Amino acid sequence: MGALKTGLSNLFSRRSLWRLTKLLIIFAIPMGISLLIGKIYQNWDDDPERGAIAIENGAFGENYSTPIYLDQGWSANDSLWYYNTTQGSALMPYDFFIALEQSDSTEPFRANSLIDKYRYLPQKPTFFNPDGLPVGFVKESYQGNDYIGFTCAACHTGQVNYKGTAIRIDGGPAMADMVGFLTDLQKSLDIALANSEKNQRFVAKVLELNNTYSNADEVQTDLQRWARKIRLYNNINASKVEYGYARLDAFGRIYNRVLEHVINRNQVRDVLLGATKSEDDDTNLLTPVQVDKVLEDISETIIGDLQFAKIIDRLMSTKEGYPALSLAVMNERIKPLLFNEPNAPVSYPFLWDIVQSDYVQWNGLASNAGVGPLGRNTGEVIGVFGILDWTAHKRGWSLPALVTGQKSKSYQIDFTSSIDLVNLSRLESHLASLTSPVWPTQKADSPQQEIAKAIFDKLPEWQIDGTKVRRGRALYAEYCESCHEVIDRTDHDRIVVASMLNIDVAGTDRAMAENSVNYTGFSGNFKNTYQTESVGGLVIKDRAPVVQILTAATMGEVTTAPDPDKWWPRRALDWLYMLAHSFFDNEIKASVKSGNYQPDTTASPYQSLLSYKARSLNGIWATAPYLHNGSVPSIYDLLLPVKRDGDPADGLYRPTEFEVGSREFDPRKVGLRTEGYDGFTFKADKRGDFNIGHEYGTIHAPAVNGEKPEPLTDEERWDLVEYIKTL
C-alpha cells in the first residue's frame, strides 16, 4: 500500500504532470494535423454524379439512367465519403474479390450485372473508390493485409426508379439480398477450389495483382481457409424463414457471431457430450473419445472462426476416430445447442435522424446517450465480418477486463480486432447532417432538388394535391400523430423521441422482439461476471441471454485502444479522442423510454424490449416495404386491415402475397412494384413474416378510452397517403 501511495504521489507531482502534459502535446500536435489533413482529404472526392452509373439490361428488366439526388443536406463529397469510409469489416481478402469468377461463367463475381441482381448499387471509379466497387463495398487494411469489407452504406443506401429515372436515397434502406449474395459467394469460392481450370485462372489473377500473395501455395491455402469461413457463416445462419430482398435478421447474425467467438472449450465439450440422436432417442450422439478427439488442441478459453471451422470439419470427417456426422445431423442435433436460428428478418432501418434519436433499433434496444452509438456500431461491425482476433491471456490489469468484470478471472479476453472505432465515431458525426429526402416535386434549397423537380414536375402522377393534403393533415393528427410526431427535418436541435409500443398492443409480428429477449447462448469467460442494467446488477450465467453477452463483448471492444496497426501513442490518443468525442459531442442524454410498454423489472430485466418503436415519418415515402419486417408493400396497403374470419369477402385488405426486389416506384400508393416480374415472392404466412397489427383507422382498430374509433373511408385513406408524401 505504501508503494502504491508513493507511486501515485510521484505520478501526480507537478513535475510529472508537466512532463505528461508535454508528452500529450507532442503526440496531440501530429494527431491534430492528421485530423485536419483527413478533413481536407475527405473533400477531395467530389464527383458530381457521386460515382453513380446508369444500368442497362438490369435485374427484373429495369434499366435506369445515372441516378439523381434529392436535397438531404449532403454534398457530393459527403455522400462519397460515407460510401467509402471503412469501419473494420473484412469479408474476404481483397485480391480474392477482384479475381473471383462467378460460379457458372468466367464473368467476374464483382460484375455489375451480379451486383445489380442482388440489388446492391454499382459505381464507377472515383478518388476514394479507384476500383469502382459498389456502394458500401470498400478496401479494408488490417495487420498488413487488404480485405473487401462492407461500410454502413451497403445496407443503408436506397434507390427508387420511375420509368428509367433513378433517385438515390442516402441513408435509405437497401433493397439488398445479402443472403443470396453470400450464398452465391460461397458457391463461387467452392467451385474455384474444385474446378481445376477455374482454380488456375483464379490463382493466376491473384498473383498478377502482385499485392498480398507471392506464390500459388499461399493463394491455395487462403482460398481453402476463406471458403471454409464463409461456408461456416452461411451454415450457422441458415434459417427456415426466407429473407428475400430488403430484409435481414442482423441481430440474429450478430448474436451468433458473438457466441462463436465467446464460447470456450469446456462448454463445447459439454454440448457435444449431451447431444442425442433424435428427439425420440436420447442415446448419446457422440462418445467421450470422439468428443476429445474433435477438441484436440482447441483453445481452452476462446475459440473463434478458424478453430470453430476446425471443430465442424472434424465432426463431419470420415477419418478414423472422428464421428462422420452428416450435414443434416449437424444442423438438426448440434447447431441448435450452440446457436439460435436468425429467423426474424427486418427491414434495413433508414438513418436520417438517427443521431438525434433517443433510442434506436426496431425494439428500442440501444440508448443513444453517451457512448451508446459507439457500442451499437461496434456490434454492427461484428455482424458484418469484423475480424475478431480475440485471444486469452493470464490475469493482469487492463481496462477491458475491468469494465467487463474479468479482473479476477484466471484468464482474460484481449479484444484485438479490425473494428475501426475512430471511423465509427466519425461516421456517426457525419450522419448528424443527413436529412430525410423530400418528395421530388417539393421545393428545397439545393441544386440537386431543383434537377429532380424539373424532371418530376412534368409527370402528373407525381403532383401533390393540396386539398387532399389539408384533409390528410387533420386525419394524421387524429389517427397517427400521438405516436408519429411531426418534426422539422432541418432543425439542428431536434430530438426524435421513440414512442415504444408493447407488442401485445401493436399486434405486429413478434419474432424480432421476442428473439432479442429470449435467445440465449454460452457466455464463455463472461460467466459469473456482473452487468449493470436499469433494474440493478445481473450475474451472467453459464448460459445467458445473448443480449448480455453482446453487451459485454461490445464494452470490451469499445474500451480497447483501436487500430493495432498504429503506433501505441497514436492508438492511445485515438482512443481518448474517440471516447471524449462520444461523451461531449453527443447531444442525447440518458432518458426514460417514452410510450406504452411493459417496464423492466428485477424478474424480467429485458421486458421493455418486447416492444416496437414508432418514430417520426419524415421521408417515409422512400422506405418501402413497410412495418418492421417489410411485410406490407405500400403506405396505402398499410392503412388497410388484415382479413380475418368473418370479414366481408368484398372488402379491401392487405395483400398476403407480393413480389419484392423491384425498385420501380408507385407514386400513387407510395410503395414499390409488387407484381409482373420474377422477384422474391413474399408470403405473410408464418412467424417472422406476418403482416398483422398496426391496424389503426381500420375496422380492426383497437378501442381508445373504451370507444371504438370510426374506420377511415377509402377517400380518407387516399387523403392520408397524400399528406404522408409531404413529410
**pLDDT tens digit string along 456-503?**
999 999 999 999 999 999 999 999 999 999 999 999 899 999 999 999
Place of cell 506464390: 215
Q: Which position has the grid cell 401493436?
A: 506
Contact (CB, 8 A) for 328 and 278: no
Q: Flag whether pLDDT at 15 surpasses 70.
A: no
The least confident of 406-415, 544-553, 650-659 is 406-415
* Cβ atoms 251, 629 nearer than 8 A: no
For residues 647-681, one letter each, b for 16 or more C-beta atoms within 10 angstroms of the residue's C-beta and e for the rest, the string is eeeeeebbbeebbbbbbbbbbebbbbbbeeeebbe
Average pLDDT, rounded, for the chain: 91
Q: What's the predicted TM-score (pTM) here?
A: 0.92
Q: What is the pLDDT of residues 35-65, one digit of tens each?
A: 555 556 667 888 999 999 999 999 999 999 9
| Phi and psi, residue 613, nearest 5° | -100, 130
Mean pLDDT (whole number) for 413-417? 90
Closest-CA residue to 346 (of 181, 155, 160)? 155
Tracing cell 500500500 back to the chain, one arrives at 1
* Integer angstrom CA distances of residue 229 from 312, 430, 611, 664: 11, 33, 35, 36
Give the DSSP letter of residue 610. Answer: S
Beta-strand pair 145-150/359-360:
unpaired
pLDDT value of residue 304: 78
The angle formed by the CA atoms of residues 723, 725 and 726, to the nearest 5 degrees, is 70
Cell numbers placing 305: 472462426
What are the tens digits of pLDDT across the range 557-596? Answer: 888 877 777 766 777 777 777 777 776 777 888 899 999 9
pLDDT in tens, 322-342: 999 999 999 999 999 999 999
Question: How high is the pLDDT of residue 607?
Answer: 95
Largest CA distance in the chain: 86
Contact 596, 613 (CB under 8 A): no
Name the pLDDT band for 4 (thresholds 50, 70, 90). very low
Written as one letter, the residue type at 488 is: D
| Rounded Cα–Cα distance for residues 96 and 309 (Å) | 20
The mean pLDDT value for 684-693 works out to 97
Q: Which pLDDT score is estimated for 394?
A: 85
- CA 534 to mean position of chain CA atoms: 25
* pLDDT single digits (tens) 491-531: 989 999 999 999 999 999 999 999 999 999 999 999 999 99
Torsion of CA 295, 297, 302, 307, to 10 degrees: -70
CB–CB of 363/609 below 8 Å? yes
Question: Which residues lie across from 584 on neighbouring strands?
Answer: none
Give the residue among 693, 687, 544 at the shortest CA–CA distance from 612: 693
480's CB contacts (< 8 A; 6+ apart) are 617, 696, 720
Q: List the chain domain ranges.
A: 49-236, 250-338, 447-484+617-725
3 state DSSP class of 184 = helix
Average pLDDT in the 121-132 region? Answer: 96
d(CA 147, CA 96): 9
Length of the chain in residues, anyone? 727
**Dihedral (C-alpha) 331, 333, 335, 341: value to the nearest 10 degrees?**
80
